[in-house]
């Protein structure tokens, strides 16, 4: 949820700085909407707020929650199939999700939530037949609307590609105890339907060795950058390039505050966070705003309001092993390695644990 509030705050600040707002105009609240539907999530969330102007400093007004929240709003998402009505998914107000302290008051947090499934398993193969229309009704205002289609999951990873031309994930070649070569790993995958940008992470699994016992653990590495497309054509091949040194450095950073046992690296899998066009365009526009362009206009795909209504998906690859013979695993315990002080050791026998229930990777979930 923290990521949710970071993006929301950026949206509200972005709109409050727009040069299109007339500071001398009569008061008129502007509805701000932030909602991302995810077909695999147990809960869907939509944030409703309002931009505000007044005679006192905005920083002071931001400390009064009534300045940017509505007392009453009816929030729903209408599900359509090929333009025909299927059902209405009602979103209910909740105040159980607390907001972090900051620029805006945190005594209220106007979020609307639904636990209703937005697409059935039997409908997934025809995901493009369905669209979702947001409808926000606030007393005395025109309905606020937006319409999207859902983002599907990454379902296919192509033949793995590294400069070493091996089938496993290969990020480093050992040339001796104190030297080696980092590799670039080109992760190739088919763009999921309706996704315009995809970020990649790597979930790394390893064993903590305590005495003669092994305990499975994991950490997740988030890489910089993304793979993106600006075409509605499906089944496009995308490439996300992973730098070996970046991988090992981030792995070390993630382990700094963990318990320091002997560790045996096991395997990894890649995660894919994909976003629909609305969110992808918002991200690009936000980057443009940081360049200081005077004619920059805040992105919005909301009718009778501002904000972002879009879709996301999160999916994982199959489990993969770091190439065992190239030196990638040896590198974890080499001097001058980013992970040298993290106490990695090489014990090939742990690879046999995958078929043992006691050590099965799925027991983490």
If one compares 133 and 226, the residue with the highest pLDDT of the two is 133
| Residue 166 banded pLDDT, cuts 50, 70, 90 | very low
Is the pLDDT assigned to residue 242 strictly greater than 60? yes
Query: What's the token pair of residue 233?
Result: 């054509």
* 257 falls within a domain: yes
* 324 falls within a domain: yes
Q: How many CB atoms lie within 10 A of CB 93?
A: 14
| Residue 297 banded pLDDT, cuts 50, 70, 90 | low
* 292 falls within a domain: no
pLDDT at site 20: 43
* 83 falls within a domain: yes
Domain identity same for 355 and 226: yes
pLDDT at site 206: 86
Express as a percent the part of the chain with pLDDT over 90: 35
Last residue of a domain, one of 150, 184, 200: 150
Query: Once rounded to an integer, what is the mean pLDDT over residues 141-146?
Result: 94
Interior CA angle at 270 toward 223 and 45, to 5°? 80
Interior CA angle at 286 toward 283 and 288, to 5°? 115
pLDDT in tens, 183-197: 888 888 999 999 999
Count: domains in the chain: 2
Domain identity same for 171 and 140: no
* 210 falls within a domain: yes
| Residue 130 banded pLDDT, cuts 50, 70, 90 | very high
Domain identity same for 141 and 37: yes
* 232 falls within a domain: yes
Closest CA to 211 of 262, 257, 260, 266: 262
Domain identity same for 99 and 178: no
Q: How many CB atoms lie within 10 A of CB 113?
A: 15
Domain identity same for 128 and 201: no
pLDDT at site 261: 79
Is the pLDDT assigned to residue 303 strictly greater than 80? yes
Last residue of a domain, one of 150, 172, 188: 150
246, with CB counted inside 10 A (0-12, 13-18, 19+), is middle
* 58 falls within a domain: yes
pLDDT in tens, 203-237: 998 888 888 788 888 899 999 888 988 776 677 88
Three-class secondary structure assignment of 196-216? CEEEEEEEEEEEEEECCEEEE
Domain identity same for 192 and 51: no
If one compares 286 and 22, the residue with the highest pLDDT of the two is 286
Is the pLDDT assigned to residue 349 strictly greater than 80? no
Per-chain mean pLDDT for the chain: 77
Domain identity same for 137 and 169: no
| Residue 259 banded pLDDT, cuts 50, 70, 90 | confident
Domain identity same for 15 and 88: yes
Domain identity same for 16 and 134: yes
Domain identity same for 70 and 168: no
pLDDT at site 194: 92
Express as a percent the part of the chain with pLDDT over 70: 69
Task: Provide the residue range defining the domain that includes 350.
Answer: 161-274+315-364
* 301 falls within a domain: no
Domain identity same for 15 and 99: yes
Could you give the CA distance from residue 279 to residue 112 in angstroms, rounded to a whole number?
19
If one compares 82 and 176, the residue with the highest pLDDT of the two is 82
Last residue of a domain, one of 104, 121, 150: 150
Domain identity same for 240 and 109: no
pLDDT at site 69: 73
Beta-strand pair 213-222/197-210 = antiparallel
The DSSP string of 85-97 is: EEEEEEEEEE--S
Max CA distance (Å), the chain: 74
């Amino acid at each position: 949820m923290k990521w949710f509030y970071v993006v929301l705050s950026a949206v509200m600040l972005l709109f409050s700085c727009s040069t299109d707002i007339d500071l001398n105009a009569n008061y008129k609240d502007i509805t701000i909407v932030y909602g991302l539907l995810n077909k695999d999530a147990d809960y869907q969330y939509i944030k409703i707020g309002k931009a505000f102007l007044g005679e006192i400093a905005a920083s002071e007004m931001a400390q009064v929650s009534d300045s940017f929240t509505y007392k009453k709003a009816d929030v729903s998402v209408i599900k359509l199939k090929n333009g025909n009505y299927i059902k209405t998914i009602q979103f209910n107000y909740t105040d159980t999700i607390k907001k972090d302290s900051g620029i805006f008051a945190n005594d209220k947090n106007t979020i609307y939530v639904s636990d209703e499934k937005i697409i059935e398993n039997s409908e997934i193969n025809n995901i493009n037949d369905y669209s979702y229309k947001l409808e926000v009704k606030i007393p005395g205002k025109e309905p606020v609307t937006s319409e999207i289609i859902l983002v599907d999951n990454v379902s296919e990873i192509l033949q793995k590609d590294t400069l070493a031309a091996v089938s496993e994930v290969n990020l480093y070649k050992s040339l001796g105890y104190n030297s080696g070569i980092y590799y670039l790993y080109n992760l190739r995958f088919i763009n999921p339907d309706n996704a315009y940008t995809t970020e990649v992470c790597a979930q790394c699994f390893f064993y903590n060795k305590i005495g003669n016992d092994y305990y499975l653990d994991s950490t997740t590495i988030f890489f910089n950058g993304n793979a993106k497309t600006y075409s509605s054509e499906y089944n496009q091949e995308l490439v996300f390039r992973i730098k070996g040194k970046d991988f090992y450095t981030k792995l070390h950073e993630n382990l700094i505050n963990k318990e320091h046992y002997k560790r045996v690296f096991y395997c990894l899998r890649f995660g894919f966070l994909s976003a629909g066009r609305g969110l992808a365009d918002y991200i690009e526009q936000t980057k443009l705003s940081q360049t200081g362009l005077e004619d920059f206009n805040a992105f919005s795909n909301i009718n009778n309001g501002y904000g972002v209504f879009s879709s996301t998906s999160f999916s994982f690859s199959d489990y993969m092993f770091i190439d065992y013979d190239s030196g990638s695993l040896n590198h974890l315990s080499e001097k001058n390695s980013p992970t040298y002080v993290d106490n990695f050791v090489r014990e090939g026998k742990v690879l046999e644990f995958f078929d043992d229930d006691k050590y099965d990777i799925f027991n983490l979930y």
